[in-house]
Amino acid sequence: MNMNKRIPFFRAVFLALVMTVAGCAGSGVEVDEVKGRAEAMNRWLGHGVNLGNALDAPTEGEWGVVLKECYFDKIKEAGFDSVRLPVRWSTHALEDSPYTIDPVFMKRVQWAVDRCIERDLPVILDIHHYTELYTDPIPHKERFMALWKQIAAHFKDYPELLLFEIYNEPDDAFTPELWNEWLAEAIVLIRGNHPDRTLVVGSANDNWITFLKLLELPEDDRNIIVTVHHYFPLSFTHQGTSWTTAEKMSRTLEDMRFIGQDLPPWSEKWDGRQGPEAWDGTVWSGTDMEKKAMTDLFEIASSWSEKHQRPLNLGEYGAYKAADAESRIRWTRFITETALAHGLSTHYWEFCAGGFGLYHPDTKTFNERLLKAASGQSGK
């Protein structure tokens, strides 16, 4: 699917430049000297998938997924271009200085990274679910940086196919201000070992699009892809889940109002006074109004990207299994296509866990229609 695969970076950048000049660049994103390397890598990421609920669980297997070699084959065969690998390091490291990461866990993560690389799948490795950061981040700063120091040292000689994402979904007490401060420090730390590696950094408030405006990145570091997550509307995508709050939905709607966005009529119903228990049966029919709520958000993302000359990735999106099958496929297809039309690479949440998964490990089959919608092949 992605034509930059298998070719070294500088050729990829050159090719992308030639294609843009020739007017045949697929997504309409222009590659220029400013964004060059990160932009080429973002094209390489293409349409990918999250290997979620495995290494991001408190311990692997606790959320039903133990990674297997064949999963990487399935991902490749299904036509995905890249993988995002969420990892919960915080339950596998010493609580006190020097915060050593359990070597067995490090080896396990490396095994998963290697399985991607040997299949030519770029892989984004992050820090995920460091849950203490949501309630009381400051006492954990030294440990967080120590984790990055160890990860950066461990993967020092890895090829460019490995990308690092500083942190998944900062939120709550991990405020936008704190996040800007920490991400700048983490970037300096990582750059010590990885001057040329492409990094991925998300916006605050769960990587929500409207929070891009508060994101501050080091101006002189252009090798950064910015990531956003999109689960809007939560009343549809997160119906039936046990971990979503009404407050999150109302915050999302508040953001949209704040930026003067048209809200779809059904949003009145989900104004924060009603929690997830009232969301059952919410459908996504793909009406003009529903679509506009989405495209408006992606417009915000692309204008930000254009203004700041940073390539964008949609690092997570998906609808939980409790939503009706047709709505899930419609919504997923629409988001994949809208993201592509706005020049974002994508990573569907997620590969094979029961909730959002595309692949059923028991029957060894894919949910074919959802797979097509998530991998950008629905029109083919």
Return the SS3 of 318: coil
| CB neighbour burial string for 77-107, b if at least 16 within 10 angstroms, e if fewer | ebbbbbbbbbbbbbebbeeeeebebeeebbe
Record the tokens describing residue 75, joined without a space.
Answer: 């991902």
Positive/negative CA dihedral, 272, 277, 281, 284: positive
Of 158 and 270, which CB lies nearer to ligand BGC in the complex structure? 270
Q: Give me the 86-105 binding string for ligand BGC, x by CB under 6 A, dash otherwise.
A: x-------------------
Of 4 and 235, which CB lies nearer to ligand BGC in the complex structure? 235
Give the footprint of ligand BGC on residues 117-146 (CB under 6 A): 128
The rounded distance, in Å, linking the Cα atoms of 22 and 3 is 15
Q: Which residues, in sequence order, are CB contacts of 322 under 8 Å at separation 6+?
A: 239, 240, 241, 280
> If binding is defined by CB under 6 A, does position 349 make contact with ligand BGC?
yes
Give the closest residue to 123 by CA, choosing from 343, 305, 318, 347.
347
- Minimum distance from residue 231 beta carbon to ligand BGC (Å): 6
- Minimum distance from residue 253 beta carbon to ligand BGC (Å): 18
The rounded distance, in Å, linking the Cα atoms of 186 and 362 is 40
- Minimum distance from residue 26 beta carbon to ligand BGC (Å): 28
Give the closest residue to 119 by CA, choosing from 181, 161, 89, 84.
161
Of 12 and 49, which CB lies nearer to ligand BGC in the complex structure? 49
- Minimum distance from residue 56 beta carbon to ligand BGC (Å): 6
Q: Give me the 301-340 binding string for ligand BGC, x by CB under 6 A, dash otherwise.
A: ---------------x------------------------
Of 229 and 330, which CB lies nearer to ligand BGC in the complex structure? 229
> If binding is defined by CB under 6 A, does position 81 make contact with ligand BGC?
no
- Minimum distance from residue 316 beta carbon to ligand BGC (Å): 5
Of 16 and 319, which CB lies nearer to ligand BGC in the complex structure? 319
Query: Contacting ligand BGC (CB under 6 A), which of 160, 169, 171, 290?
Result: 169
Record the tokens describing residue 313, joined without a space.
Answer: 């990735």
Q: Are 349 and 51 in contact (CB under 8 A)?
A: no
- Minimum distance from residue 127 beta carbon to ligand BGC (Å): 11
Q: Are 170 and 179 in contact (CB under 8 A)?
A: yes
Give the footprint of ligand BGC on residues 43-72 (CB under 6 A): 56
Burial class (CB in 10 A: 0-12, 13-18, 19+), 243: exposed
Positive/negative CA dihedral, 122, 125, 128, 133: negative
Of 2 and 345, which CB lies nearer to ligand BGC in the complex structure? 345
CA distances, 84 to each of 25, 55, 122, 172 (Å): 24, 11, 8, 24
Of 304 and 349, which CB lies nearer to ligand BGC in the complex structure? 349
Q: Which residues, in sequence order, are CB contacts of 142 under 8 Å at separation 6+?
A: 97, 99
Of 58 and 159, which CB lies nearer to ligand BGC in the complex structure? 58
- Minimum distance from residue 170 beta carbon to ligand BGC (Å): 11
- Minimum distance from residue 197 beta carbon to ligand BGC (Å): 23
Of 36 and 48, which CB lies nearer to ligand BGC in the complex structure? 48
Return the SS3 of 303: helix
For the chain, the C-alpha Rg in angstroms (whole number) is: 20
Of 87 and 106, which CB lies nearer to ligand BGC in the complex structure? 87
- Minimum distance from residue 140 beta carbon to ligand BGC (Å): 18
The footprint of ligand BGC on this chain (CB under 6 A) covers a number of residues equal to 7
- Minimum distance from residue 341 beta carbon to ligand BGC (Å): 24
Count of CB atoms situated within 10 Å of the CB of 151? 21
The rounded distance, in Å, linking the Cα atoms of 103 and 111 is 12
> If binding is defined by CB under 6 A, does position 165 make contact with ligand BGC?
no
Q: Give me the 280-299 binding string for ligand BGC, x by CB under 6 A, dash otherwise.
A: --------------------
Binding site for ligand BGC (CB under 6 A): 56, 86, 128, 168-169, 316, 349
